[in-house]
Amino acid sequence: MDYIRPTEVARSFLDAAETKSQLPVGQLLMRGALSGALLGFATTVAFTATSQGLPPIVGAMLFPVGFAMIIVLGLELVTGSFAMLPAAFLARKVGLAKMVTNLAWVFVGNLLGSLLYAWMYAEVQTQFHRVPVAGAGALIVAAAQAKTLGYQKLGMTGMELSVVKAMLCNWMVCMGVVMGLTSRSTLGKIAACWLPIFTFFSLGFEHSVVNMFVIPAGMWMGAPLSARAWWLWNQIPVTLGNFVGGVLFVGLPMLLMSNVKSTKSAEVELVHPVGAMAHPRSDAVEA
């Protein structure tokens, strides 16, 4: 059967974290760089749809293509690891040094991939700075300013706002990782992870890896920003918020679920409420 039961998903979640912790640095950098670039591609697809006059919700529906590719290919995204690695550490499956090493190198890989695609995209949009930016590029320039100068204008309130929006974002992003574990088929994984990723993007929350693309790309296309403004008013607080949200809202629940001693019949009851099983077939429990 394609569907995987919740407690099995929770245990797979921890097992996957243990496997990630054993990857060499070269793999973490390569997989992280690919993930950063893929999210950059997905972000520009979303902005392109909006620049063509389509409602922003259409762009949000398209954005999960990047995340789906990351899930299917087993790449490394630091925001998903923010939930997985700390949960595995608390479960004593991963040591502190391995957890920190993994998160640090994946973060660097995500940043490198995002910067590479951001630079290439900016060069294409401006034809190597020979034409003014327009269309999707102009929207990215505006977004880069909103994600930095917009928070700066609010002072400490802006800092707090970016952290909370990042926590909410990674609640959904890490749920995307979990949902990808609920199916054994490629199409099942894509459909399942699509739901929470569409949700976070449509609500305009803050994702640190997406911002690794949006803000530098905006800067290279003319946004009047400094590297200090990028890191102080967005990248650092958003990364912190992503970490807290991932651990608190997904990592800890998955850890608790992995320790549940449930029977097959009990889990079937969770998936199929009593009212829907008034006349169960003889093979219902086995399914």
Cα distance between residue 16 and residue 178, in whole Å: 11
Tokens 């979990």, located at residue: 178
Cα distance between residue 61 and residue 179, in whole Å: 17
Cα distance between residue 262 and residue 207, in whole Å: 35
| Tokens of residue 63, six digits | 């954005």
Per-residue pLDDT of 130-189, as tens digits, reads: 999 999 999 999 999 999 999 999 999 999 999 999 999 999 999 999 999 999 999 999
Query: CB–CB of 83/242 below 8 Å?
Result: no
pLDDT in tens, the chain (287 residues): 588 999 999 999 999 999 999 999 999 999 999 999 999 999 999 999 999 999 999 999 999 999 999 999 999 999 999 999 999 999 999 999 999 999 999 999 999 999 999 999 999 999 999 999 999 999 999 999 999 999 999 999 999 999 999 999 999 999 999 999 999 999 999 999 999 999 999 999 999 999 999 999 999 999 999 999 999 999 999 999 999 999 999 999 999 999 866 444 444 444 454 444 444 433 433 33
**Which CATH homologous superfamily contains domain 6-277?**
Glycerol uptake facilitator protein. (1.20.1080.10)
Instruction: List Cα–Cα distances, 109 to 32, 34, 58, 191, 234, in angstroms.
Output: 4, 8, 29, 26, 19
Where are the alpha helices (H) located in 22-155, listed in sequence order?
25-51, 56-62, 64-73, 78-90, 96-125, 136-146, 149-153
First to last CA, the chain: 7
Query: CB–CB of 46/202 below 8 Å?
Result: no
Cα distance between residue 184 and residue 126, in whole Å: 43
Domain boundaries, the chain: 6-277
Query: CB–CB of 110/216 below 8 Å?
Result: no
